[in-house]
Structure 1
Amino acid sequence: MTIKNLNDLYLDQLRDLYSACKQSMAIVTEMGRAAKSKELSEALIAGSQGISEGMDVLASLCNEHGVDPTGEHCRGMEGLVVEARKHALEADFADEDAQDAAIITQYQRMAHYAIAGYGCARTFANRLGHEGDGARLQECLDQTWDGDRHMTEIAEGEVNKAAMDGV
């Protein structure tokens, strides 16, 4: 797709975000199953559901603008998924609590990527006069921020302290 203007860039970003969400959903679910902390596991499963809901919004927006949401592959999220698998699931952990801390780290890296994407897409939508799109993207952005903040609370409240044992 040749990007000729802000509208083309907006649609490209929606498709890229859709791809990012699709790629991250599976690894977030895997990390949820691997987490030792019940609170962390539940938060990751909820996060996976939130990602799915975001995908529904993105697909709907793409369809409303006449583009296929599946027409893009997000290489940025592809790299983050590889890193999450390597550093949170496949690393050799002697301590499950340290693994939980690694899982949070990798989740938050992916969430911050999504935050940047949703924020840019929302700004483009609003500039283009698509306020309805902007409002829906803002909801996705808010939900992603909430998930990120919840992970910080889990890390600071339970996981990082438990991972300190034996230091």
Structure 2
Amino acid sequence: MAAKEKTLSDAFYETLKDVYWAEKQGTRSLGKAAKAAKHPELKKVFETHREESAHQIERLEQVFEIIGKTARAKTCEAMKGISEEMTEDLEDFGDTKAADAVLIGCAQAVEHYEISRYGTLKSWAKQLGFAEAEKLLGETLEEEKKADQLLSETAETIANAQGGSGEMESEDGEEDEDEEARGELEGSEADEKPKGKKASGKKKEAAQA
């Protein structure tokens, strides 16, 4: 018996399950990021988008109803990988000055993936004639884009508040100190050379005497 030919409708359903899982995982990651964030404004951004994500999950469940399918989640390997990277980055940078910047980078990786998938689902919903689903997916897509923009603006705010990267300034300072040390060493060697010559001259005079 020949296998049933896959259709765009099948692709839509499978991708919807993928995004359903990704959205739930993303919500958990946002909670973790909110706890780890140091800057108050960044904490607020994460907490606000986490609440927004709960509504996005509800919209996805509505989309499942519209297409007459049961709301089911399928492990999203892409989001799983992004979440694992966030965990690793928190372990590496959680106690450093770069922690908030790293968190923003991880969060934007989540947003960019979701923007891509919601854009695809919206386009497919239109092609399949699911007008209401297209509207719901479009609402979420716009929220994800705004969240990504807000993260970029927050990153700039934090960077300005910190006055740039202190670590880079520190590294430059270390280079200056190294150059100064080399200069002192060269000067010291230069001072020692004439002394050596004078000592040699005195030995010669003593020999002649």
Per the TM superposition, whether the score is higher than 0.5 is yes
1:138 maps to which residue? 138
Give aligned-pair identity as a percent.
26
**Is the contact between residue 93 and residue 102 of structure 2 (CA under 8 Å) also seen in structure 1?**
no
d(CA) in 1 for partners of 2:144 and 2:31?
A: 16
Counterpart check, 1:78 vs 2:80? yes
1:45 maps to which residue? 47
Considering only CA atoms, is the larger Rg found in Structure 1 or Structure 2? 2
In the TM superposition, residue 113 of structure 1 has moved relative to its aligned partner by: 0.3
d(CA) in 1 for partners of 2:45 and 2:125?
A: 30
- After superposition, the Cα gap between the structure-2 partners of 1:161 and 1:135, relative to the gap in structure 1 and judged at 3 Å, is same
In the TM superposition, residue 3 of structure 1 has moved relative to its aligned partner by: 6.9
d(CA) in 1 for partners of 2:88 and 2:6?
A: 38
Can you list the C-alpha shifts for 1:37-67, whole angstroms capped at 9, x where unaligned?
A: 1000000011111211111101111123232
* Higher RCO (Cα < 8 Å, 6 or more apart): 1
1:16 maps to which residue? 18
2:185 maps to which residue? none
2:147 maps to which residue? 147
CA RMSD of aligned residues (A): 1.7
Off by >6 Å, runs of 4+ in structure 1: none
1:1-167 mapped onto 2 (5 Å cutoff) = 4-87=6-89, 89-96=90-97, 98-159=98-159, 162=162, 164-167=165-168
In the TM superposition, residue 106 of structure 1 has moved relative to its aligned partner by: 0.0
Can you list the C-alpha shifts for 1:99-155, whole angstroms capped at 9, x where unaligned?
A: 000000000001000000100000000011112111110100000000000000000
In the TM superposition, residue 27 of structure 1 has moved relative to its aligned partner by: 1.2
d(CA) in 1 for partners of 2:144 and 2:125?
A: 18
2:202 maps to which residue? none
d(CA) in 1 for partners of 2:61 and 2:100?
A: 32
d(CA) in 2 for partners of 1:133 and 1:15?
A: 14
d(CA) in 2 for partners of 1:64 and 1:86?
A: 39
In the TM superposition, residue 81 of structure 1 has moved relative to its aligned partner by: 0.5
2:43 alignment partner AA? S
- After superposition, the Cα gap between the structure-2 partners of 1:56 and 1:82, relative to the gap in structure 1 and judged at 3 Å, is same
Can you list the C-alpha shifts for 1:51-100, whole angstroms capped at 9, x where unaligned?
A: 1111110111112323222241111101110011111x21145534x100
d(CA) in 2 for partners of 1:13 and 1:31?
A: 26
Structure 1, unmatched stretches of 5+, are none
1:164 alignment partner AA? S
**Is the contact between residue 8 and residue 124 of structure 2 (CA under 8 Å) also seen in structure 1?**
yes
